[in-house]
Amino acid sequence: MSRNAVAIACVLGVMGMTGASFAAVPLYRMFCQVTGFDGTVSKADKAPDVQLDQTVLVRFDTNVRGLPMQFRAEQVSQRVRVGETGMAFFDVTNTSDKPISAKAAYNVVPERAGPYFQKLQCFCFDEQIIQPGQTVKFPVQYFVAPEMATDAEARGVSEITLSYTFYPTDRFQQAVNGAQTEAQASGAAG
């Protein structure tokens, strides 16, 4: 094999690895949403037709990362029948004097319940803009799929925790960085 062929193979290998590293996060996220792996919840198109007598206690957990906001569930938990559609409400308050651009990430614990916890409607699917001082009420419509009752891995799950974390979007970070740069420029000029 010539030196040129080895060099080309190395360059192609590095390019392939770089491309794979950029694709890894979206591919992993897609895999988790399709399979429910790692407690990832999937979005459903319609509620099930069957409701079982078995109930599950659904707990709601809220977190904020790097944002001037308050985020809370209006109820700590709800008891729903497996297959029944539940509705939970969450309040978000922007405690700053600037608009916030944020998105919520979510997961389910125990992880083995992830494939069966389905959302029909959720604020976590879209970027949210919350104005200064504004409080917004976000609904989440969900159900626990009846198939969970027959899955040997998930059978016996009696409590599920749905956890949300609001985090800043790139748009929010760019606005914060721009304001800091503007303040530094004003300070240097004064």
How high is the pLDDT of residue 10? 75
**Least confidently predicted of 36-50, 54-68, 98-112:** 36-50
Task: Give the bridge partners for 87, in sequence order.
Answer: 141
pLDDT at 175 over 60: no
Q: Which of the two residues, 182 and 45, has the higher pLDDT score?
A: 45
| CA dist., res. 161 & res. 105, Å (int) | 14
Q: What is the pTM of this model?
A: 0.69
Residue 21: the pLDDT is 58
| Separation between Cα atoms, residue 128 and residue 51, nearest integer Å | 33
Q: For strands 159-168 and 55-64, give the pairing.
A: parallel
Q: Is the pLDDT of residue 167 over 70?
A: yes
Calculate mean pLDDT across residues 11-35. 58
* Torsion over CA: 46, 64, 167, 71 (sign): positive
| pLDDT beyond 60 at 164 | yes
- What is the token pair recorded at 124? 């976590």
Question: Does residue 94 contact residue 69 with C-beta atoms inside 8 Å?
Answer: yes
Say whether pLDDT at 182 is over 90.
no
- Among 44, 8, 13, smallest CA distance to 125 is for 44
The residues near 104 (Cβ < 8 Å, ≥ 6 apart) are 123, 124, 128, 164, 165, 166, 167
Could you tell me which residues come within 8 angstroms of residue 137 by beta carbon, excluding any fewer than 6 positions away?
A: 74, 89, 90, 91
Q: What is the mean pLDDT of the chain?
A: 82
Structure tokens belonging to residue 71: 């985020």
Identify the residue with better confidence: 20 or 175: 20
Angle, alpha carbons 100-101-104 (nearest 5°): 115
Kindly report, residue by residue over 92-120, the tens digit of the pLDDT: 999 999 999 999 999 999 999 999 999 99
Give the separation between CA 124 and CA 106, rounded to whole angstroms: 7
Overall average pLDDT of the 153-182 stretch: 75
Q: Would you call the peptide bond into 48 cis, given omega within 30 degrees of 0 as the criterion?
A: no
